[in-house]
Amino acid sequence: MNFPIGELSKRTGVKVPTIRFYEQIGLMPEPSRTESNQRRYGKAEADRLNFIRHSRELGFEVEDIRALLAMTAAPQASCHQVDSIARSHLLEIDRRIASLTALKGELTRMVDECGHGRICDCRIIEALADHSHCSAEH
C-alpha cells in the first residue's frame, strides 16, 4: 500500500494537522515522499497512527506513548515497564476522578444553598468570590 496523507487521515480518523504534528515531535516517522514531495504512507504507518490515536483516547501522555512505541520494537522483552506506565496512568485517572467528585460535591452544595433570590444574596457568587465559603479543598 502506498497512499497520501489524506487517505491516512481517513483510514485512522486522525486529522492531517495532527499527523503532521506527530511527525514533527517524532511519534510518527518521517514519511517517504514522491518526486513531487508528496508524503506517502503504508499499512505500518496506519497501524502506528491507530496505536497513537487509541493511546491518546485513553488519555496517555505523549511521552508515555513514545516510550510504549519504543517498547514495541522488542516484542519478546518483558512487559513490566508497559505495566508500570499503565498503572501510573491509572493512578492519575483515579486522582482526577477524586478531584472531579470533590468539585461536583462543592458545586452541588453551592447550587442547593442558592436561595434563587437576588445576585447580592447569591451563595454561589459568594462562594466563588471567597474560597473560605467552600466546604472542602479543591
Share of the chain above pLDDT 70, in %: 90
d(CA 67, CA 81): 9
pLDDT exceeds 90 at position 127: no
d(CA 5, CA 41): 7
- For 105-116, what is the HEC assignment? HHHHHHHHHCCC
pLDDT exceeds 90 at position 135: no
pLDDT exceeds 60 at position 4: yes
71-107 exposure pattern, b = at least 16 Cβ within 10 A, e = fewer: eeeeeeeeeeeeeebeeebeeeeeeeeeeeeeeeebe
- Residue-range domain boundaries for the chain: 5-74, 81-133
Average pLDDT of span 76-97: 94
Average pLDDT of span 85-92: 96
d(CA 27, CA 132): 45
- What is the pLDDT at residue 136? 63
CA distances from 129 to 68, 123, 124, 125, 134 (A): 44, 10, 9, 6, 10
pLDDT exceeds 90 at position 114: no
Identify the residue with better confidence: 133 or 97.
Answer: 97
Helices 5-12 and 16-24, axial angle in degrees (round to 10): 100
Q: What is the pLDDT of residues 20-46, one digit of tens each?
A: 999 999 999 989 888 888 889 999 999
- What is the pLDDT at residue 124? 74
d(CA 26, CA 62): 10
Instruction: Show the beta-strand stretches assigned E in the chain.
Output: 32-33, 39-40
Q: CA triplet 43, 17, 6: central angle to 5 degrees?
A: 45
CATH architecture classification, 5-74: Orthogonal Bundle (1.10)
pLDDT exceeds 60 at position 52: yes
- What is the pLDDT at residue 106? 84
